[in-house]
Structure 1
């Protein structure tokens, strides 16, 4: 076994089925997937004693109906807390402490073009407001700005709104979350006030993406693109538009289940399954140079 904790697949699969049927944003698909997992368990498809292998097998089945990449059984090499979202928060905190709070690079390029890299994720706003506010304030004096999301795997929608608030002039409707059942909705707006200086809503803005950009990083790119505020440069993103929660079902396994779906007020849809499509497609490795060249040309014009 990869982990020392004994693995019994049946209780893990049974609890995954329970969480799926109780919380998944699409109840009909939840029932289909629950039937699939029960059948596969009865057939012996999950008869493994390795937690990482079980996570791979179950995740493949969870994503087999509608390709929802937020729906998964995640393996963690280190034991994870038993409380809800404990594993996610534990891993987030490690990444936060080693990435300067999620803004590992602020750089000034030739021609007065700034780069702010937001990676590896958009951390909870109560953690990230200070470091992100500092990075964006520092870049606010630039003539043009490039926001690099190529290595960003997602995070907090409130942090998306915080970043957007630095890049817009007026309070703006960004997104609406539709929760399971369809009756409860929650709008996301840019903020009327930000600490420090705004880059604002008129200077050239570019957002870099890759095929690894995911979830909240995709929302940031999509919101700014749909508003006509930013030019997205790079690759199509992974395509995950459903916010999710996590539950520990084994000391090394966490089930993540989406409980809502995003609807953009401009497009009336989202990026689920298709990803954010760049305005200027190019290889992710070339995106920074391409955006810098576009910014310089626009400034010169």
Structure 2
């Protein structure tokens, strides 16, 4: 990609930053950085994938916001806002039994529900998640495996939490730059199927690949004292984002809000969700199973 082709991508990206990024002051600094790097010839590269790598590194250089990216897509991306992201995650949805690829009963009446690779949009995922969580609701203890979950829909976070609590509960508050407004997220008063409920032992597995909405699920349950998080610290992305096509193979993702937990008053941005029981992620299932058996025996 030549500089002539790079310039429109940088122009579009800087415009999206200044119009939508949840931190306006940071947006101005980043926009100036991208324009300077363009003028210096830093983006005079041969292909879109290399441009995406360079621009993403610059976008994350100020506050290490992992949701702030220029994403490369091998296949051409549709021009409508969010269409590129939705097309990609729909393929993952169809290949993962709707985001609940594993439900298993371990020794001692302990169930495992793996939620991966995403917490898909609720209008897609409500049926498969209800089936998985209802099946597991009869278990004596439950392990939710988020080690391979890279994020998704905050409404789906609330839906899953609703199966794991007994009463309507304030889970999270999202501040949105647009309109300078806040929006609360609560568990639901009713769920289809059966609830696991809010009293039986609950464990959440996490690791370095756990990201975004999956981190919110772990963090919300941890802060409420409802679940024990087992494994490794997560990646640390608490800013929901939108995606805009800025080139036939490039999508700019810009965070438009930030999470504020009602218990901690903050979120997991940059630090990740810290496990209550640290251990290698590969060992976390065995560790959580042992913890559940010990608690059930007590």
Segments of structure 1 that go 5 or more residues without pairing to the other structure are: none
Question: Are 1:110 and 2:107 counterparts?
Answer: yes
Q: Distance in 2 between matches of 1:121 and 1:34?
A: 31
The DSSP-based 3-state class of the residue aligned with 2:242 is strand
Decide which of 30, 33, 36 is 2:30's aligned counterpart.
33
Name 1:237's counterpart in structure 2: 234
Name 2:15's counterpart in structure 1: 18
Question: Are 1:82 and 2:103 counterparts?
Answer: no
Q: TM-score, normalised by structure 2?
A: 0.98
**How many angstroms does 1:183 deviate by?**
3.2
Paired residues for 1:1-301 under 5 Å: 8-180=5-177, 183-301=180-298
**How many angstroms does 1:7 deviate by?**
8.3
**How many angstroms does 1:49 deviate by?**
2.2
- Deviation per CA, 1:153-212: give whole Å up to 9, x if none: 000000000000000000000000011168310000000000000000000000000101
- Deviation per CA, 1:214-251: give whole Å up to 9, x if none: 00000000000000000000000000000000000111
**Runs (4+) off by over 3 Å:** none
**How many angstroms does 1:83 deviate by?**
0.4
Q: Distance in 1 between matches of 2:240 and 2:215?
A: 12
Q: Distance in 2 between matches of 1:181 and 1:142?
A: 43
- For this pair of structures, how many residues does the alignment match? 298
Q: Distance in 2 between matches of 1:223 and 1:258?
A: 20
Do the aligned partners of residues 201 and 174 (structure 1) sit closer, same or farther apart at CA in structure 2, a change above 3 Å counting? same
Segments of structure 2 that go 5 or more residues without pairing to the other structure are: none
Q: Distance in 1 between matches of 2:98 and 2:178?
A: 35
Q: TM-score, normalised by structure 1?
A: 0.97
